[in-house]
């Protein structure tokens, strides 16, 4: 049967895929209820939708980590599994902070997930969407956070880490919503994902409200530069991946990156809806589906993500 959609898992926003050296693709994302973290794994991206979904953590009944649970990411660091996620407070469900879980077993769908606590940033405020990467033996965290002195909205920050749940350096502002497309509905840059290639560190991010205006932007730095210097980072002008009426994909964003199992092709994983009009608050519309498609590279060494939903680019 000819493939007519690039959906890999339905109703999973903020999709995160990690291809491990055991040959499995590990998948997590925001569930529509925003009340738990689930994991699934499969040998191929196309079979993730039929893989068993294992609930590995539930929100607390009271207090911290008792509000909405958003955007989990799974990483394998120094022989252990880590999940970064944001959660609100039971008495303030939108009071998002960043938390970390750890699991030491080989198969993260099993074993015990231990709460390592909140990632302590330089100030207490709305914060979410943490991701981590390593350059030249140094580990960094990148995340979105609100700075009240700059008004409502989120910026992207980076800091060096001493371990997978602790920041070692002061946080540094590397992107803020200063382009028009990032300020539709809300002033937002969020959902960073890291791609390293061609002597560069690329960080994609998503901006604006979570309706059809949601889109992806990108900043980049030379891999030899100081990751903690704002001057190292430059921002692309305009979105690099956005709503496309012809393919009926609306609000594409909050992406992650993976490859084919042999590493020969690069894959963009993201969420998007298949319709434009939404009743009520977009955040509570459940039909942001996780999708995947191949992407290529431009002659100047930058990624070319193409058009969302273009079937020639869809993962077969």
Domain ranges of the chain: 9-276+288-304
Tokens of 3: 């493939």
- Read off the pTM: 0.97
- Give me the phi and psi of 180, to 5 degrees please: -60, -40
Per residue of the chain (316 residues), give pLDDT as tens.
345 689 999 999 999 999 999 999 999 999 999 999 999 999 999 999 999 999 999 999 999 999 999 999 999 999 999 999 999 999 999 999 999 999 999 999 999 999 999 999 999 999 999 999 999 999 999 999 999 999 899 999 999 999 999 999 999 999 999 999 999 999 999 999 999 999 999 999 999 999 999 999 999 999 999 999 999 999 999 999 999 999 999 999 999 999 999 999 999 999 999 999 999 999 999 999 999 999 999 999 999 999 999 877 778 6
Please say if 136 is a catalytic residue: no
d(CA 120, CA 195): 25
d(CA 42, CA 116): 27
d(CA 71, CA 68): 10
- For the chain, the C-alpha Rg in angstroms (whole number) is 18
Collect all residues with Cβ–Cβ distance below 8 Å to 43 and sequence separation of at least 6.
23, 24, 25, 261
d(CA 279, CA 291): 22
Residue that is written with structure tokens 């339905």 in the block:
10
In sign, the C-alpha dihedral spanning 304, 250, 17, 48 is: negative
**∠ Cα 84 87 88 (to 5°):** 160
| CATH H-level superfamily of 9-276+288-304 | Glycosyl hydrolase domain; family 43 (2.115.10.20)
Which member of 38, 190, 211, 285 is catalytic? Answer: 190
Question: In terms of C-beta density within 10 A (0-12 exposed, 13-18 middle, 19 or more buried), how is residue 264 classed?
Answer: exposed
In sign, the C-alpha dihedral spanning 43, 48, 50, 51 is: positive
pLDDT score at 1: 38
Please say if 14 is a catalytic residue: yes
Collect all residues with Cβ–Cβ distance below 8 Å to 274 and sequence separation of at least 6.
248, 249, 250, 287, 289
Which member of 14, 38, 211, 285 is catalytic? Answer: 14
d(CA 70, CA 98): 10
Tokens of 289: 């589906």
């Amino acid at each position: 049967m000819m493939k007519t959609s690039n959906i890999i898992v339905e109703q999973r926003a903020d999709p995160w895929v990690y291809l491990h050296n055991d040959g499995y693709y590990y998948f997590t994302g925001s569930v529509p209820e925003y009340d738990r973290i689930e994991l699934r794994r499969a040998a191929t991206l196309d079979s993730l939708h039929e893989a068993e979904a294992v609930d590995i953590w539930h929100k607390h009944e009271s207090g911290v980590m008792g509000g909405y649970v958003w955007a989990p990411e799974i990483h394998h660091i120094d022989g252990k599994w880590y999940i970064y996620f944001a959660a609100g407070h039971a008495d303030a469900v939108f009071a998002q902070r960043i938390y970390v879980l750890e699991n030491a077993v080989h198969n993260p769908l099993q074993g015990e997930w231990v709460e390592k606590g909140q990632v302590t940033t330089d100030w207490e405020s709305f914060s979410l969407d943490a991701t981590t990467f390593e350059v030249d033996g140094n580990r960094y965290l990148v995340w979105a956070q609100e700075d009240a002195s700059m008004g409502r909205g989120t910026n992207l920050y980076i800091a060096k880490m001493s371990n997978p749940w602790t920041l070692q350096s002061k946080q540094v502002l590397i992107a803020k919503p200063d382009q028009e497309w990032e300020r539709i509905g809300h002033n937002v840059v969020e959902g960073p994902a890291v791609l390293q290639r061609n002597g560069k560190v690329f960080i994609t991010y998503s901006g604006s409200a979570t309706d059809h205006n949601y889109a992806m932007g990108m900043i980049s730095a030379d891999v030899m530069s100081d990751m903690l210097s704002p001057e190292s980072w430059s921002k692309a002008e305009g979105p690099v991946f956005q709503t496309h009426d012809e393919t009926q994909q609306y609000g594409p964003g909050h992406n992650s990156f993976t490859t084919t199992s042999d590493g020969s092709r690069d894959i963009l994983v993201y969420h998007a809806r298949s319709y434009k009009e939404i009743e009520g608050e977009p955040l509570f519309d459940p039909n942001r589906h996780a999708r995947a498609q191949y992407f290529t590279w431009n002659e100047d060494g930058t990624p070319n993500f193409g058009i969302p939903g273009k079937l020639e680019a869809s993962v077969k």
